[in-house]
Structure 1
């Protein structure tokens, strides 16, 4: 059977700007670190996969000295791990507060895929507790329980490396030709493509201007029908799927055929 594999941040909910960024900055404040990331700073940090990895970009000799951090690599790693654990706690509290809405169409398309017998999964480089919090927000607890979750440090390399997708495909015994990945970033797209998987992109707050060459479909969102209708803006559609006014499971299934769609 086919499989639908979602990235988490930016795909299930627009969590980067309104969840991760404030959680990083509150963590820095709590630990007395001499840094606060602006919106533009964080847009650059998103080019680095993984929260701990983003934190480690701070660790220049000058920063280590100014913050009074240990210089021994193992002790530094332990310090970053403490920061990241606290950041994850703060982030989960933000998600639980309900201030960040799910992205349009995620629950609808996932429910349709589940009803059709598709395998559902999330593959993310974020910490697993964070991913599960966002998944429950986006899909609801009952549907979220139908997902397999692959996240955090279960693979050695983060996106854009394909490791997390290769791990998910192998663990679930999937046929790569029957998998559709939903991503929102160039790094995520590269990871999916290098794992041999077809990928559709729903652009998010920080990614709309990125290069999505190789994607089977690029849209503003999956969209949803009324009463609060969100229509899909099609940004790239090389196969002619024409998923309007919003993306349906049939449109994603069509992407697996790899052939232009008749009209």
Structure 2
């Protein structure tokens, strides 16, 4: 029996593909403190998966007297500097699964709320041609948790969102993926994902393969089709 491949697999970046959330948090605290404020770990967690413009406004409310674009540029520069020093900190299993997708000819997109220069920086540091498309935070009008980033990626790839899989680590990201219609896979890192609406939650991508993604997509699309046919 031939395998029915997903039309595309769409990846979040920070926290899903690469473990950069600690880099962001390490940049946030000194920024707030430089303006005399305080910044807690709980506040930092509240920004995970949030669009950078929305995050910047939260920093302004915490006392950072900079324009939104200045805050975004400062944090992005700091994270890019850390990446240049350390290389790409892939999450367990992410590189291997992504490489298998590429070898099988499955289209892939990086769908991130980081700025494009940051996303391109990560992609350029990778040691293989990983993505067919990058949709970044400054490419969309409405960020996650709106569905727009994933819908935009699907439109650019010429695929139906229903035929794709989206992989996310944060509640805001998952809400975006679910709202787009993609089969949504949660791989939590810093925040729990129960009750957000994911089709499946995997504790890690380590050891997971393309066959696992095919089974995930087949199971959930088949069950939804049965529900639709059975509905009165």
TM-score bucket (shorter structure): 0.7 to 0.9
- 1:22 positional shift: 1.2
Structure 1 residue 10 and structure 2 residue 12: aligned?
no
CA change 1:212–1:3 in 2 (3 A) is farther
Rg: which structure is higher?
A: 1
- Residues 117 and 100 from structure 1, CA distance in 2 versus in 1: closer, same or farther, beyond 3 angstroms? closer
Query: Does the CA-based 8 Å contact 2:111-2:149 persist in structure 1?
Result: yes
Once the two structures are TM-superposed, the CA of residue 154 in structure 1 deviates from its matched residue by: 1.5
1:51 counterpart = 2:52: yes
Which residue in the other structure is 2:128 paired with? 142
Question: For residues 120-167 of structure 1, what are the alpha-carbon distances to aligned partners after superposition, in whole Å with 9 as ceiling and x for unaligned?
Answer: 111011111222333445xx23223x4311001221211111010111
Q: By how many angstroms is 1:96 displaced?
A: 1.4
**Equivalent-residue separation in structure 2 for 1:96 and 1:110 (angstroms):** 21
Normalising by structure 2, what TM-score? 0.83
Higher normalized contact order (CA 8 Å, seq sep 6+, divided by chain length): 2
Structure 2: gaps spanning 5 or more residues: 1-5, 224-232
Unpaired runs of 5+ residues, structure 1, are 70-75, 224-245
The TM-score with structure 1 as length reference comes to 0.74
8 Å contact kept, 2:88–2:122: no
Note the aligned Cα RMSD (angstroms): 2.3
> Match of 1:102?
90
| Alignment coverage as a number of residue pairs | 216
2:42 alignment counterpart: 40
Distance 1:170 1:186, change over 3 A: same
1:20 aligns with 2:6: no
Q: In structure 2, how many angstroms separate the alpha carbons of the residues matched to 1:148 and 1:180?
A: 15
Of 155, 162, 181 in structure 1, the residue corresponding to residue 166 of structure 2 is 181
Structure number with higher helix proportion: 2
Q: Is the 8 A contact 1:120 1:148 kept in 2?
A: yes
